[in-house]
Structure 1
Amino acid sequence: MISSPLRRPLCQHARIIRSNRWLTTIGIRREDPKRIWERRTPLTPAAVSLLARAGEVEVEVESCQRRSFPNKEYEKAGARIVPSLSPKVDLVLGIKEPPVSEVHRLIDAEKGRKRTWMVFSHTHKGQKYNTGLLSSFLGTDNQQTLIDYELLTREKADGKGRERVAAFGWYAGAVGAGEALTLTGLALLRKGIATSLLNLSRPYTFNSLDDYRAAVREAAAAIAANPPPEPIVIGVTGRGKVATGAMDILKELDPVWVESDRLSEITTDASSSSKVIVSNLDPAHYMRANGKENSYSRVGYYADPSKFKSHFDEVIAPHLTTLINGQGWSKGFPRILDNAQMEAQVARAKRDGSKPKLIAVQDITCDINGNLEFMDRSTTIDQPYYDGPGGVMISSIDILPSELPKDSSEHFSDCIIPYVRQLATGAHDAVLEDTLSRATIVRSGTITENHKGLMPRVQQWRNENVGSGRRAMSTASRDSGIHRKKKVLLLGSGLVAGPAAQVLGSRSDIVVRLASVDAKANDAMSAKYANMSGLTLDATNDAAASQAVEESDVVISLLPAPMHTLIAEHCVNHRKHLITASYVSDEMQAFNSKAEDAGIIILGECGLDPGIDSMAAMRIIDRANKEGKTISSFISWCGGLPELSASEVPLRYKFSWSPKAVLTAALNDAHYKLDDQIHHVQGDQLLAQHFPSVGLWDGLPLEGLANRDSLLYAEKYGLGTVEDLSNLFRGTLRYQGFSRLMDSFRQLGLLNRDALDQQVESWTDLLLQSVKVSQRLPDSTRSEDLPVIVKDIVDSKVADDTLQALEWFGVLPNGKQNTVSRPVTASRSMAPIDYFAQLLSNRLSYHKGERDTCLLHHEFVLHPASMDASQGGPGQKVTASLLAYGDDDASAMAVTVGKTLAFAALRVLDGKVAGRGVRRPLDKDVYEGVLDDLESVGVKVAENWA
Structure 2
Amino acid sequence: MVATRNTRVMLPRARLPCTPLRLRLLSRRDITTLGLRREDPARIWERRTALTPQAVEQLLVESNGKGKEELKVQVESCARRCFSDQEYHEAGARIVPSLNDDVDVVLGIKEPPLSDVHALLKAGEAAGKKRTWMMFSHTHKGQEYNTPLLSSFLLPNEGQTLVDHELLTAPSIGKDGKEHLKRVAAFGWYAGAVGAGEALSLTGVALLKRGVASPLLHLPRPYTFGSLAKFKVALRKTGDAIRSAAVAIREPIVIGLTGAGNVSGGAKDMLDAMGVVWVTVDQLADLRKDCACDKIYACAIPPSSYLTTHEGSQYNRVEYRKSPELYRSQFAEKIAPFLTTLINGVGWSAGYPRTMSTEDLSGLFDRTGGKQKLVAVQDISCDKEGGLEFVKKYTTIDERYFEGPNGMLISSIDILPTELAADASAHFSETVLPYVRRTLFPNATESDRCGELATLRRAVIVKEGELTNQHRWLLPRVDDWRTSIRSSRTNPVPSHVSTRSIKKKVLLLGSGLVAGPAVEILASRSDVHLAVASNNLVEARGHSKARSNVEAISLDVSDDTALGEAVNTADVIVSLLPAPMHPQVAKHCIKHGRHLVTASYVSSEMKALDQQAQQNDVLLLGECGLDPGIDSMAAMRILDRVQREGKKVTSFVSWCGGLPELSASQVPLRYKFSWSPKAVLTAAQNEAQYKWDGQNVNIPGHQLLSRHFPWVDLWDDLPLEGLANRDSMPYAYKYGLGPIDSLTNLFRGTLRYRGFSTLLDSFRKLGLLRSDPLKSPPQTWDQMLLSSAGRELGVREELRCRDIGSVLRDLVGAKQADETHDALRCFGLLPGDQSSPRVPMPLLSQPTNVDLFAHLLSKKLAYSPGERDTCLLHHSFDLTSPVSGDGQASTQKVTASLLCHGDENASAMSVTVGKTLAFAALRVVDGQVKRRGVTGPYEREVWQGVLESLEEVGVVVEEKWS
- SS of the equivalent of 2:49 reads coil
Match for residue 276 of structure 2?
255
Match for residue 21 of structure 2?
14
Match for residue 65 of structure 1?
79
Asked if structure 2 preserves the Cα contact closer than 8 Å seen for 1:466 and 1:485, the reply is: no
Q: Which of the residues 134, 141, 147 maps onto 1:118?
A: 134
1:439 paired with 2:459, answer yes
User: In the alignment, residue 108 of structure 1 is paired with which amino acid?
Assistant: K
- SS of the equivalent of 1:451 reads helix
Summarize the Cα distance change of 1:541–1:137 in structure 2 as closer, same or farther, 3 Å threshold. Answer: same
The alpha-carbon deviation at position 343 of structure 1 amounts to 2.2
Cα displacement string for residues 549-569 of structure 1 (whole angstroms, at most 9, x for unaligned residues): 65666989999xxx9999899
Match for residue 165 of structure 2?
149
The CA RMSD measured in Å over matched residues stands at: 3.6
1:374 paired with 2:380, answer no
Asked if structure 2 preserves the Cα contact closer than 8 Å seen for 1:60 and 1:85, the reply is: yes
**In the aligned structure 1, how far is the partner of 2:72 from the partner of 2:84?**
18
**In the aligned structure 2, how far is the partner of 1:466 from the partner of 1:62?**
34
Asked if structure 2 preserves the Cα contact closer than 8 Å seen for 1:329 and 1:371, the reply is: yes
Match for residue 560 of structure 2?
none
The alpha-carbon deviation at position 275 of structure 1 amounts to 2.2
The alpha-carbon deviation at position 262 of structure 1 amounts to 2.3
**In the aligned structure 2, how far is the partner of 1:155 from the partner of 1:9?**
13
For 1:111-510, list aligned pairs within 5 A.
Answer: 111=125, 112-139=128-155, 141-156=157-172, 160-228=179-247, 229=249, 230-265=251-286, 267-270=287-290, 275-292=295-312, 295-349=314-368, 352=369, 354-426=370-442, 427-428=444-445, 429-430=447-448, 431-467=451-487, 482-487=498-503
Match for residue 39 of structure 1?
47
User: In the alignment, residue 161 of structure 2 is paired with which amino acid?
Assistant: T
Summarize the Cα distance change of 1:123–1:12 in structure 2 as closer, same or farther, 3 Å threshold. Answer: closer
- SS of the equivalent of 1:122 reads coil
The alpha-carbon deviation at position 448 of structure 1 amounts to 0.3
- SS of the equivalent of 2:256 reads strand
For 1:501-580, list aligned pairs within 5 A.
Answer: none
For the pair shown, which has the larger CA radius of gyration, 1 or 2? 1
- How many corresponding residue pairs? 524
Match for residue 60 of structure 2?
52
Summarize the Cα distance change of 1:554–1:470 in structure 2 as closer, same or farther, 3 Å threshold. Answer: closer
Cα displacement string for residues 252-287 of structure 1 (whole angstroms, at most 9, x for unaligned residues): 12121112232113x133365762111110111110
The alpha-carbon deviation at position 570 of structure 1 amounts to 5.3
Match for residue 823 of structure 2?
none
The alpha-carbon deviation at position 483 of structure 1 amounts to 2.1
Tell me, which stretches of 5 or more residues in structure 2 are unaligned? 2-8, 65-69, 553-962
- SS of the equivalent of 1:309 reads strand
Asked if structure 1 preserves the Cα contact closer than 8 Å seen for 2:252 and 2:291, the reply is: no
The alpha-carbon deviation at position 175 of structure 1 amounts to 0.1
The alpha-carbon deviation at position 342 of structure 1 amounts to 1.4
Summarize the Cα distance change of 1:454–1:553 in structure 2 as closer, same or farther, 3 Å threshold. Answer: closer
Q: Which of the residues 118, 124, 134 maps onto 1:104?
A: 118
Cα displacement string for residues 422-469 of structure 1 (whole angstroms, at most 9, x for unaligned residues): 111222454111111100000000000010111121122122223399
Cα displacement string for residues 754-788 of structure 1 (whole angstroms, at most 9, x for unaligned residues): xxxxxxxxxxxxxxxxxxxxxxxxxxxxxxxxxxx
- SS of the equivalent of 2:179 reads coil
Asked if structure 2 preserves the Cα contact closer than 8 Å seen for 1:291 and 1:309, the reply is: no
Match for residue 95 of structure 1?
109
**In the aligned structure 2, how far is the partner of 1:472 from the partner of 1:147?**
32
The alpha-carbon deviation at position 535 of structure 1 amounts to 7.6
The alpha-carbon deviation at position 6 of structure 1 amounts to 3.9
- SS of the equivalent of 1:59 reads strand
**In the aligned structure 2, how far is the partner of 1:377 from the partner of 1:577?**
31
For 1:812-827, list aligned pairs within 5 A.
Answer: none
**In the aligned structure 1, how far is the partner of 2:159 from the partner of 2:415?**
31
**In the aligned structure 2, how far is the partner of 1:247 from the partner of 1:166?**
20
More moved, 207-216 vs 102-111: 102-111
Asked if structure 2 preserves the Cα contact closer than 8 Å seen for 1:537 and 1:545, the reply is: no
- SS of the equivalent of 1:93 reads strand
Cα displacement string for residues 111-169 of structure 1 (whole angstroms, at most 9, x for unaligned residues): 12101110000000000110111111101542110010000000115662111010000
**In the aligned structure 1, how far is the partner of 2:72 from the partner of 2:407?**
54
- SS of the equivalent of 1:116 reads strand
- SS of the equivalent of 1:84 reads coil
The alpha-carbon deviation at position 48 of structure 1 amounts to 0.8
Q: Could you tell me the percent identity over the aligned residues?
A: 47
Cα displacement string for residues 266-323 of structure 1 (whole angstroms, at most 9, x for unaligned residues): x133365762111110111110012415x10111111110110000001000010000
- SS of the equivalent of 1:156 reads strand
**In the aligned structure 2, how far is the partner of 1:220 from the partner of 1:400?**
22
Asked if structure 1 preserves the Cα contact closer than 8 Å seen for 2:522 and 2:530, the reply is: no
Summarize the Cα distance change of 1:314–1:414 in structure 2 as closer, same or farther, 3 Å threshold. Answer: same
Summarize the Cα distance change of 1:153–1:74 in structure 2 as closer, same or farther, 3 Å threshold. Answer: same
Tell me, which stretches of 5 or more residues in structure 1 are unaligned? 488-510, 516-533, 579-946
Summarize the Cα distance change of 1:552–1:340 in structure 2 as closer, same or farther, 3 Å threshold. Answer: closer
**In the aligned structure 2, how far is the partner of 1:316 from the partner of 1:256?**
17
Cα displacement string for residues 632-656 of structure 1 (whole angstroms, at most 9, x for unaligned residues): xxxxxxxxxxxxxxxxxxxxxxxxx
Asked if structure 2 preserves the Cα contact closer than 8 Å seen for 1:142 and 1:481, the reply is: no
Cα displacement string for residues 671-692 of structure 1 (whole angstroms, at most 9, x for unaligned residues): xxxxxxxxxxxxxxxxxxxxxx
**In the aligned structure 1, how far is the partner of 2:24 from the partner of 2:491?**
46
Asked if structure 1 preserves the Cα contact closer than 8 Å seen for 2:379 and 2:411, the reply is: yes
The alpha-carbon deviation at position 104 of structure 1 amounts to 1.4
**In the aligned structure 1, how far is the partner of 2:433 from the partner of 2:542?**
38
For 1:771-810, list aligned pairs within 5 A.
Answer: none
Asked if structure 2 preserves the Cα contact closer than 8 Å seen for 1:260 and 1:316, the reply is: yes
- SS of the equivalent of 1:404 reads helix
Cα displacement string for residues 341-373 of structure 1 (whole angstroms, at most 9, x for unaligned residues): 112222444xx3x31110010000110000100
**In the aligned structure 2, how far is the partner of 1:84 from the partner of 1:565?**
35
- SS of the equivalent of 1:94 reads strand
For 1:832-847, list aligned pairs within 5 A.
Answer: none
Match for residue 80 of structure 1?
94
The alpha-carbon deviation at position 576 of structure 1 amounts to 9.0
Match for residue 958 of structure 2?
none
Asked if structure 2 preserves the Cα contact closer than 8 Å seen for 1:6 and 1:411, the reply is: no
**In the aligned structure 1, how far is the partner of 2:490 from the partner of 2:155?**
17
User: In the alignment, residue 259 of structure 2 is paired with which amino acid?
Assistant: G
User: In the alignment, residue 464 of structure 1 is paired with which amino acid?
Assistant: S
Summarize the Cα distance change of 1:554–1:359 in structure 2 as closer, same or farther, 3 Å threshold. Answer: closer
Summarize the Cα distance change of 1:133–1:555 in structure 2 as closer, same or farther, 3 Å threshold. Answer: closer
- SS of the equivalent of 1:27 reads strand
**In the aligned structure 2, how far is the partner of 1:271 from the partner of 1:393?**
24
**In the aligned structure 1, how far is the partner of 2:122 from the partner of 2:539?**
29
